[in-house]
Chains A and B, each alone.
Chain A
């Protein structure tokens, strides 16, 4: 219990002082996870729409695989990306091991299946509902896909937020490919892991509270914004 009150005090102190190191860590966390979620949305939403709209051999297997990959262990993703971008790996000449881009790649791989699988579900429901009407109007495939994505936009927000939640909260992948280097690749989760292992439990817990608060704030912001837009559209 004492740890909890100390943690709250540590968190309040860090925020009140706008501790430059803390600000740096929070901003890097956001930069990495927001970049990953944007890339994952650009890949996952069209991929989910394609899985929802098209019938092809092996589709069912692909759907099952994507669903299963939602539970990818971050450390394994981290390890695979590490092997790819380490100096002796196939992408070693990129020289991005222990940099933010490597962390973005790892988190993107981690959350593409989440965004894809959830988008597939949402768009499949809509497609079942609207496909006859769209075909009756003579809508071609690419326009139909754009229309369905646009129709699903408010529910796709939830899919993207789920991906963001996973990205901002994971520690294994960014730790392995980023290396938790101070002022360079240290993000909130790796900082928490480090402070815990150093025995600075209050500081670790304080950082944890800030992480939760940041995550909550972003979710609230996106949810409320899309809620307003949604009411305006009468959907």
Chain B
């Protein structure tokens, strides 16, 4: 898979014109002759919390990585079409399944992400404190990130992403490795970020989580996008047999 280089970008852009909608046209991704994503057409718009749902191996994580620009599609196009599209690179952030923190203090982890964006030291400290406050981590600011619990680490990852003031936040199964209490804390932090006006695009295979967080569902199965509709409509009765089977909890692959 080709990996486009991402160059360092100057200055954080708070606010500004929207980069959304994000438009994917006939996006395919194949590796070793296997189609991992097959002609995906998708439009992501501002406002609603989008959850990408589907069984393991459906291609959810790959789709998210393509949207975030970490992977280039084998064919098809991905385009930010909003008036602020030229700023797209610095107006998005991603939280991964594992927190992927650096071996330094909690606040230094947030500070690092801001330093990459060339923010001044004084602004960085203020912003990092705000971010930890938002994630309920202020008392842990000076602790080494490595000694935190899994749930706390994932909230540090959320705080780090939030500090960048993204218009779009991608989350790839952010609670897959967490116990129910930690999952709830992370979900609350995500809901809080969404209330602040950030577009959430999140993958999960957890139906309960999808019900709690989603306003819009994108359902993937075997690398194909089968449905994109409001969460209420999807849970009331999806059109595709595969989606119905998934909701019934029957295994799919």
B86 in the interface, Cβ–Cβ < 8 Å? no
> Please, how many angstroms separate the alpha-carbon atoms of A139 and B65 in the complex?
16
A234 pairs with B117, CB closer than 8 A = no
Q: Are A147 and B6 in contact (CB under 8 A)?
A: no
B74 CB-CB contact with A under 8 Å:
no
Q: Mark A202-235, 1 if CB is under 8 A from B, else 0.
A: 0000000000000000000000000000001111
What CA separation (Å) do A151 and B93 show in the bound complex?
22
Flag if A234 contacts B103 (CB, 8 Å). Answer: yes
B96 touches A132 (CB 8 A): yes
Q: Contact check, A138 vs B117: say whether CB atoms are below 8 A apart.
A: yes
Which residues from B are CB-within-8-Å of A151? 102-103
Contacting residues, chain B, for A137 (C-beta < 8 A): 93, 112-113, 116, 164
Chain B interface: which size bin? Answer: 20 to 34
B96: which of A133, A141, A232, A235 is its contact (CB, 8 Å)? A133
| Contact string against B for A residues 132-149, beta-carbon threshold 8 Å, 1 for contact and 0 otherwise | 110111111101000100
A-B contact count (CB 8 A): 56
Chain A residues touching B, range: 10 to 19
Q: Which residue of A lies closest to B94 (CB)?
A: A136
Residue of B at shortest CB range from A235?
B103
Q: Within the complex, which residue of A132, A143, A233, A234 is in contact with B70, where a contact is CB–CB below 8 Å? A: A132
With A132-B70, A232-B144, A235-B144 already in contact, the answer to whether A138 and B104 are too (CB < 8 A) is: no
Contacts of A69 in B (CB 8 A): none
The 8 listed contacts between A and B (C-beta, < 8 Å) are A130-B100, A132-B70, A133-B100, A135-B6, A136-B68, A136-B94, A137-B93, A138-B9
Please list the residues of chain B having a beta carbon within 8 angstroms of any beta carbon in chain A.
3, 5-9, 65, 68, 70, 89-90, 93-94, 96, 100, 102-104, 112-113, 116-117, 143-147, 164
Across chains A and B, which 6 residue pairs bring their CB atoms closest together, nearest first?
A: A234-B144, A140-B8, A234-B146, A235-B103, A133-B100, A234-B147
